[in-house]
């Protein structure tokens, strides 16, 4: 049984797809000696389990713009966003402000919480008296050098 | 207590999760091929645009930017539904999905007060973690839970969570002001017949003599009356309400991970569902399939996938439904799991008579109604499954017209939601990608 070769992506959360791994359960040769690997769980490192702690609440977004480059987020980068995390100062957030979806760092600026970017052209946005809404917390950024 | 978690305007809410600019504006979702309105936001309901309104009549409003219309994006809705179901499974002892946007939860070992708190907690959690607004109805029976959900949705005082005790003055007052036609499973015709017997409200039905109801109407109606009194007598299998959705699902005799066996089971369920569909003279717009592994075996790998496939046009043709099932299975099947249950659900049903064939999409299989009628007739007379479909058309064209479909944000790598690093960044990014004039 092989993975479906259809070009259509699965209609379940991408985060639910297990990474394929090869089975190591075979025996070594025909000699009758059991393979020493037999007692180990056939498991290889899985990036999903490392980057995605809450699959149901994890969404992938893509970044646009250059003003977060100072914190390592470049245009086209893949954001792993977990909506179940409570935001804390220092987190990078996806937030909604005036119908726009923004990636910003949640940090103190002159003693009050602001949404900050890493670019001098874009001053910190104060959070007080705005109807800014949290969308999710960025758990990881994936920057692909080859695609 | 039984709880019913029901997403508000589910399709519209899914669209809004990924496009916050739709928040607070009138939004409608159109059926396959952008035919008519199948979901409306509260703002659109307030404009008195009815369900089923042909989309072309709204084109002027859309052009002027007064309303937003979206093509149905079943991949997105199916994925969000699977997430909703999984979130409930993580939190509740037992969950049973009833439709794409309604899930029953079973909270047997909790007090009423605890149930109320769980309901409020779930509502907040679903809103925050998935971005979906839901209402929760809690009651001792399915029928009352459904009514409780209705009150939670329509009466702002409940703040989205309504718990109905069986014998309680509030429950009595609410049932007295509820027309009997709003009770689960009571259609317009039955409501008219009940009116002749002076049963006008849900309370009248609850107080009616059960023996009389059974004699003059049906066992089902007698059970509904008992359910309104707080005596549980409906099980999940009885809940197939005509004209809403059709579900056929069954556990495998033996758990299986073999694709062919899973496919066979799904095909059987699809054929049975299609038959039920024709019996009630409806057509489906979409097909959902699901597989379950055994959740009581933590030693085994768990997988509860769903797939949702839109039909090119509303259909009651077994072959179209089988094609959709095959497509869906290709999407979700993974080797290495032991499945114990498979099911097929037909969604977004329309009346076959009312459905007008679109001139733009003439049915390619124009002789099928006779074929289907003959098939059903033979199967009725000679037994279930006497004639069934073998191979189905493997390369059906699934060219849907969907001019206004939003991105399939959660299922396609090249359609992800964008987030800008500063205001205007998304627009600038789009401009950069455009070739210079």
Instruction: Note whether B308 contacts A6, CB cutoff 8 Å.
Output: no
Would you call A53 a catalytic residue per the annotation? no
Alpha helices for B166-316 (secondary structure H): 169-176, 188-196, 202-207, 210-216, 219-229, 259-279
For residue B236, give the 3-state DSSP assignment.
helix
> Are B102 and B2 in contact, with CB atoms under 8 Å apart?
no
Of A1, A9, A102, the CB nearest to B420: A102
For residue A54, give the 3-state DSSP assignment.
coil
Per the residue annotation, which of A22, A62, A67, A117 is the catalytic one? Answer: A67
> What is d(CA A84, CA A81) in angstroms, rounded to the nearest whole number?
9
pLDDT at B436: 61
Q: Is A120 on the interface with B (CB under 8 A)?
A: no
Q: Which of residues 17-46 of A touch B (CB under 8 A)?
A: 17-18
User: pLDDT, tens digit, for every residue of B71-111?
Assistant: 999 889 999 999 999 999 999 888 988 888 999 999 988 99
> What is d(CA A46, CA A51) in angstroms, rounded to the nearest whole number?
9
Token pair listed for B416: 């992800």
- Which 8-state DSSP code applies to residue B58? G
Give, in order, the Cα–Cα distances in Å from B55 to each of B13, B37, B67, B148, B262. 19, 6, 11, 33, 39
> Are B20 and B418 in contact, with CB atoms under 8 Å apart?
no
Task: Report, in this order, helix, strand and coil percent for chain A, each rounded to 5.
Answer: 10, 30, 55
pLDDT at B49: 94
Q: Is A139 on the interface with B (CB under 8 A)?
A: no
Give, in order, the Cα–Cα distances in Å from A136 to each of A64, A80, A82, B22, B127. 17, 10, 6, 18, 12
> What is d(CA A130, CA A105) in angstroms, rounded to the nearest whole number?
16
pLDDT at A33: 56
pLDDT at B315: 86
Instruction: Note whether B330 contacts A4, CB cutoff 8 Å.
Output: yes
Between chain A and chain B, the number of residue pairs with CB atoms below 8 A apart is: 158
Q: Which of residues 91-110 of A touch B (CB under 8 A)?
A: 94, 96-104
Instruction: Note whether B87 contacts A133, CB cutoff 8 Å.
Output: no
Instruction: Note whether B417 contacts A18, CB cutoff 8 Å.
Output: no
Instruction: Note whether A101 contacts B327, CB cutoff 8 Å.
Output: no
**Residue ranges, chain B, pLDDT below 50:** 358-362, 364, 391-399
For residue B206, the Cα-to-chain-centroid distance in whole angstroms is 28
Instruction: Note whether B332 contacts A11, CB cutoff 8 Å.
Output: yes
> Are A17 and A10 in contact, with CB atoms under 8 Å apart?
yes
Q: How many Å from the N-terminal Cα to the C-terminal Cα in chain A?
A: 28
Q: Which residues of B23-48 are buried (b: 16+ CB within 10 A; e: fewer)?
A: eeebbbbbbbbbbbbbbbbebbeeee
Which residues 6+ apart lie within 8 Å of B248 measured at CB? B269, B270, B272, B273, B276, B343, B344
pLDDT at B435: 66
pLDDT at B236: 60
Give, in order, the Cα–Cα distances in Å from A21 to each of A1, A14, B308. 13, 17, 27
Per the residue annotation, which of A6, A35, A86, A104 is the catalytic one? Answer: A104
> What is d(CA A46, CA A69) in angstroms, rounded to the nearest whole number?
28
**Residue ranges, chain A, pLDDT below 50:** 1-14, 19-31
ipTM of predicted assembly, 2 dp: 0.75
Maximum Cα–Cα distance across chain A: 75
Would you call A104 a catalytic residue per the annotation? yes
Taking CB atoms and an 8 Å cutoff, what residues of chain A touch B307? 10-12
Alpha helices for A37-123 (secondary structure H): 47-51
Q: What are phi and psi of B166, to 5 degrees?
A: -65, -50
Which residues 6+ apart lie within 8 Å of B62 measured at CB? B68, B69
Token pair listed for B129: 């973690």
Of B327, B420, B429, the CB nearest to A101: B420
Token pair listed for A15: 């985060």
> What is d(CA B411, CA A10) in angstroms, rounded to the nearest whole number?
6
């Amino acid at each position: 049984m092989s993975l479906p070769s259809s070009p259509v992506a699965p209609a379940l959360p991408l985060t639910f797809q297990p990474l394929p791994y090869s089975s190591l359960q075979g025996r070594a040769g025909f000699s009758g000696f059991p393979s020493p690997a037999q007692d180990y769980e056939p498991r290889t490192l899985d990036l999903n389990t490392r980057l995605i702690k809450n699959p149901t609440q994890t969404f992938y977004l893509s970044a646009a713009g250059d003003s977060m480059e100072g914190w390592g987020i470049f245009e086209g980068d893949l954001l792993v966003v977990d909506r179940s995390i409570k935001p804390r100062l220092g987190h990078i957030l996806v937030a909604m402000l005036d119908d726009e979806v923004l990636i910003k760092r949640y940090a103190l600026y002159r003693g009050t919480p602001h949404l900050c970017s890493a670019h001098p052209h874009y001053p910190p946005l104060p959070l007080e008296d705005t109807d800014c809404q949290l969308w999710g917390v960025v758990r990881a950024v994936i920057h692909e050098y080859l695609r | 207590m039984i709880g019913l978690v029901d997403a508000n305007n589910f399709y519209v809410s899914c669209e809004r999760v990924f496009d916050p600019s739709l928040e607070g504006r009138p939004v409608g979702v159109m059926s396959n091929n952008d035919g008519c309105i199948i979901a409306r936001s509260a703002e659109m309901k307030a404009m008195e645009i009815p369900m089923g309104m042909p989309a072309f009549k709204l084109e002027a409003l859309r052009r002027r930017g007064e309303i937003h219309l979206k093509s149905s994006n079943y991949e997105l809705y199916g994925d969000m539904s699977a997430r909703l179901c999984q979130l409930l499974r993580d939190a509740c002892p037992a969950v049973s999905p009833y439709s794409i946007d309604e899930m029953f939860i079973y909270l047997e070992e909790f007090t009423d007060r605890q149930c109320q708190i769980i309901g409020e907690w779930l509502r907040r959690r679903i809103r925050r973690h998935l971005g979906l607004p839901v209402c929760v109805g809690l009651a001792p029976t399915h029928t009352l839970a459904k009514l409780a959900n209705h009150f939670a949705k329509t009466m702002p005082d409940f703040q989205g969570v309504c718990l109905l005790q069986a014998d309680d003055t509030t429950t009595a007052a609410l049932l007295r002001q509820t027309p009997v036609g709003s009770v689960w499973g009571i259609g317009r015709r039955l409501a008219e017949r009940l009116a002749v017997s002076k049963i006008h409200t849900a309370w009248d039905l609850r107080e009616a003599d059960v023996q009389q109801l059974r004699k003059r109407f049906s066992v089902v109606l007698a059970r509904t009356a008992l359910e309104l009194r707080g005596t549980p007598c409906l099980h999940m299998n009885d809940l197939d309400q005509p004209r809403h959705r059709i579900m056929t699902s069954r556990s495998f005799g033996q758990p299986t991970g073999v694709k062919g066996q899973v496919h066979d089971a799904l095909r059987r369920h699809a054929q049975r569902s299609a038959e039920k569909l024709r019996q009630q003279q409806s057509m489906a717009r979409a097909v959902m399939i699901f597989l379950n592994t055994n959740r009581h075996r933590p030693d085994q790998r768990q997988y509860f996938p769903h797939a949702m496939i839109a039909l090119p046009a509303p259909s009651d043709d077994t072959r179209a439904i089988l094609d959709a099932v095959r497509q869906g299975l290709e999407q979700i099947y993974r080797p290495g799991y032991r499945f114990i249950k498979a099911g097929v659900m037909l969604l977004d049903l329309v009346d076959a008579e009312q459905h007008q064939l679109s001139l733009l999409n003439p049915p390619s299989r124009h002789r099928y109604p006779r074929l289907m009628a003959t098939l059903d007739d033979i199967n009725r007379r000679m037994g279930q499954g006497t004639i069934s479909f073998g191979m189905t058309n493997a390369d059906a064209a699934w060219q849907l017209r969907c001019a206004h479909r939003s991105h399939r944000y959660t299922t396609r790598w090249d359609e992800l939601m964008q987030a800008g690093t500063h205001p205007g960044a998304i627009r600038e990014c789009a401009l950069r990608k455009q070739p210079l004039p």
